[in-house]
Amino acid sequence: MAPSNLCMAIVALAAVTAAAVGEVEHTFVVSEVKMTHLCNETLVTVVNGQLPGPAIEVTEGDSVAVHVVNKSPHNITIHWHGLKQRLNCWADGVPMITQCPIRPGHNFTYHLNVTGQEGTLWWHAHVSCLRAGLHGAFIIRPRHAYPFPKPDKEIPIVIGEWWSINLAQLGKNMEDGYYDDTSSATTINGKLGDLYNCSGVVEDGLVLDVEPGKTYLLRILNAALYSEYYMKIAGHEFTVVGADANYVRPFTTDVVAVGPGETVDALVVASALPGKYYVVAVGGQAPKPDIQIPATLSRATVRYAIGAGNGDEAAPPVAPEMPDQHDFMVSFNFHGNLTSLNRTGSPPVPATADESLFVVLRMGSICRQGRLSCKRSGSKESIIVETMNNNAAMMDTDNHPMHLHGHDMFVLAQGHDNYDAVRDVARYNLVDPPLRNTVLVPRLGWAAVRFVADNPGVWYMHCHYELHVSIGMAAVFIIEDGPTLESVLPSPPVDFPKCNQ
Ligand SMILES: [Cu+2]
């Protein structure tokens, strides 16, 4: 796919106006540690002994170096989810696509630039299920000012899962077509919360201490392998101001929907009566007859300082009324409410497309051991696969958070019915569509996206449900060099990991 020259020139101009002024350096030591939850000790691969891993916090325009030291027994790469990595696909961290993995006992330094991006992104290992333990926030603050009143405090909210089984084994099981494993708990910032206990002793939960009248910026990201999450805070509303490190026109909602791979920035004002309020994140899933996984949810607590006469310290936290986990319209409406906050320097929406692709996301099946024919349905002779444009396909009732590396996509429209080219093209939003690196394609529906192929390199596109990518829902865009010096992919770094030594 050749770059679109007109749009590329515009993006390049925006990129050079912000000079890099700071340098940020991190060392990520990847190792296996023992963690105990739910009465079980589990070996988990993490960065610097932490789950979630360290947050990278930078200012727009900084240059960033992350030294990855692999002390684990696994091959490791780290993907910087949502970073555009302009002319830098070698640092994108996709094993066997943009790099050979960092082998056990080896090191590699990722050099990243964060020019022209502001908001919440994240990093994770791009090694099958190991990313359930290897992830953290990547926060890019504006060099000048937020396009909204400066919050009093910023709080990353990392929604994840706790797996009591070995994650490397889980990955092997998925690739081999076994889908019976489920996570043991949902986590918020690595904590399971008080819905879970070990022999009656409740698990630790996240507590957010707030002061009345102050404004908090929640930087919410979904690092889970399995589920989209619906999040509410009893007695409080969110003002959504960003998604996938792109500002959106602020809107108010009592529920945030965040799919795997997506991020949402939302302001919350501590405007309720002093007291304690639960924050609940519940995993959504397709309704029956789809295979059901146990309902996964976790809760944290927003806590106001309680003094004489302004609340009852002994009272239990107020709980929010949660939506049905099968109600996909919560997600559809949340995503449909997102529009870009157009500002000076915002990339323009391409008015037309040079090339159009029609991609069908479906389930299918293949016979084991390379056989051409076998029993297909409910049989151990075949395994289910998730596909992009395969004909041997069946109806698929999941939504799919499709993540494109190296680019943001304008989401022009979405629907939860059949796509109708005549009807639906007419209602494309070409004025202020949201820009996302992960587009949640609604279940039994569609999304129309447009992106500018202005970044030469090899870019992975895949579903961010770990099971789906494990069983095939992935593709690669190869974007050729452009005609100018500024649009030619440089050579890989001299110390790039090698595959076979
Ligand atoms: Cu999927």
Domain-wise residue ranges, the chain = 361-487
- The H or E element spanning position 141 is strand 135-141
Q: Ligand 1 centre and the CA of 108: distance in Å?
A: 31
Place of tokens 């940020």: 24
Q: Ligand 1 centre and the CA of 401: distance in Å?
A: 6
* pTM score, whole prediction: 0.93
Q: Ligand 1 centre and the CA of 254: distance in Å?
A: 26
Q: Ligand 1 centre and the CA of 414: distance in Å?
A: 16
- R_g over Cα of the chain: 22
- Kindly report, residue by residue over 356-390, the tens digit of the pLDDT: 999 999 888 888 888 888 887 667 788 888 888 87
Q: Ligand 1 centre and the CA of 400: distance in Å?
A: 4
- Encoded amino acid at 117, one letter: Q
Block means of pLDDT (10 residues each) for the chain, length 501 residues?
33 33 93 96 97 98 97 97 97 96 97 96 95 98 96 98 92 81 95 96 97 97 96 98 98 98 98 96 90 88 83 88 96 98 88 94 84 79 83 79 98 95 94 97 95 96 94 94 93 93 63
Return all residues near 25 (Cβ < 8 A) that are at least 6 apart. 64, 65, 66, 67
Q: Ligand 1 centre and the CA of 390: distance in Å?
A: 14
* 324/228 Cα distance (integer angstroms): 13
Q: Ligand 1 centre and the CA of 202: distance in Å?
A: 33
Q: Ligand 1 centre and the CA of 486: distance in Å?
A: 35
CATH number (2.40.37.10, 2.130.10.10, 2.60.40.420, 1.10.940.10) of 361-487 reads 2.60.40.420
Provide the pLDDT for residue 501: 63
Provide the pLDDT for residue 469: 92
Return all residues near 416 (Cβ < 8 A) that are at least 6 apart. 328, 329, 332, 442, 443, 444, 445
The CA–CA distances, whole Å, from 452 to 3, 297, 411, 484 equal 7, 38, 12, 16
For strands 56-59 and 135-141, give the pairing. Answer: parallel
Cis peptide preceding 483, ω within 30 of 0? no
Q: Ligand 1 centre and the CA of 158: distance in Å?
A: 20
Instruction: Evaluate whether 136 touches 159 at the Cβ level (below 8 Å).
Output: no
Q: Ligand 1 centre and the CA of 261: distance in Å?
A: 11
Q: Ligand 1 centre and the CA of 397: distance in Å?
A: 10
**Farthest-apart Cα atoms in the chain, separation:** 75
Provide the pLDDT for residue 303: 96
Three-state SS letters, 395-424: CCCCCEEEEECCCCEEEEEEECCCCCHHHH
Total residue count of the chain as it appears in this document = 501
- Kindly report, residue by residue over 428-446, the tens digit of the pLDDT: 999 999 999 999 999 999 9
Q: Ligand 1 centre and the CA of 403: distance in Å?
A: 10
